[in-house]
Amino acid sequence: MNYIKELNAFKEWMFFHEISPNAVLLWHTLMVLNNTARWMEKFNVSNSIIGNISGLSSQRIAEARKVLVENELIHYEPGVKGKAASYRMKSLVSYFDNLSQASDRQGDLRKSESKPVTTSAPKPESKPDLFRNETRDIYKEKERTKQKRGGEEPNAYTVYEHNFGVIKPIVRESFLAWCDDLGDAMVIEAIQLAVKKGGRTYSYLEAILKEWTQAGITTLEQARNYQRQKKRSRSTPFLVKDKSKNREVLDKIRKEMQS
């Protein structure tokens, strides 16, 4: 694992998830310990060492650990007599890479499915239409606007521009593809969530839509339930005690992990 990249990926993950401060503190503590263990795939560490670094009690550690396991941020195996519990950290860098690859595959599939099958003779050679994609997207957007003109449903395209600004041609096709796949209501819900969290870029919006797709969410009700389930009651704020013998503690941790 790359420590800095994983920390940045965790920050990005936190944009779309809500976990207790103690769970955040425990995740950072385990990352410090994993780094101390030289990034072993599995490392053993006792609650006493975790508590010594984080300041968390055994009960708070258990509660925070449960949250991390439920959110698939760590893998945990209880300890046995004479051996401390084992942990394995999930790479969030790999998690976001997989989301991106899945989105790319879906995009390729959309393109292949949308290609028309023709048997007619080829047309005479002509100059390439440099604005074909943009013209098609504008046409689709106009058709979508006509369908919403009665006021029965809001238009995702318009909601996007009201909140994010004029949609750029380079992302217009991708945006309309999401509207076609999930429906305007779902895309609008994602826009509202992005705005509430302070994100006002297309990449931020698409990250939400990718996460929902990865979770198998296909309806507005499922999306709302998914977001509600991610909310956790907030516990006590971070409490990190001052340590005067950090070197001694780290040496002890290494010995325990290597034993």
What pLDDT is attached to residue 199? 81
Q: What domains appear along the chain, each with residue ranges and CATH number?
A: 3-91+241-258 (1.10.10.10), 93-113+132-230 (1.10.10.630)
Please write the tens of the pLDDT for every residue from 119-146.
555 555 544 444 344 444 444 554 554 4
- Which parts of the chain have pLDDT scores under 70? 100, 102-153, 231-259
Please write the tens of the pLDDT for every residue from 75-95.
999 988 888 999 999 998 888
What pLDDT is attached to residue 236? 41
What pLDDT is attached to residue 80? 85
What pLDDT is attached to residue 5? 86
What pLDDT is attached to residue 50? 93
What pLDDT is attached to residue 229? 81
Give the chain as a DSSP string.
--HHHHHHHHHHHHTT----HHHHHHHHHHHHHHHHTTS-SSEE--HHHHHHHH---HHHHHHHHHHHHHTTSEEEE--BTTB--EEEE--HHHHHHHHHHHHHHHHHHHHHHHSPP--SPPPPP----TTHHHHHHHHHHHHHHHHHTTSSS--HHHHHHHHH-SPPHHHHHHHHHHHHHH-HHHHHHHHHHHHHTT--SHHHHHHHHHHHHHTT--SHHHHHHHHHHH-----PPP-----S-HHHHHHHHHHHHH-
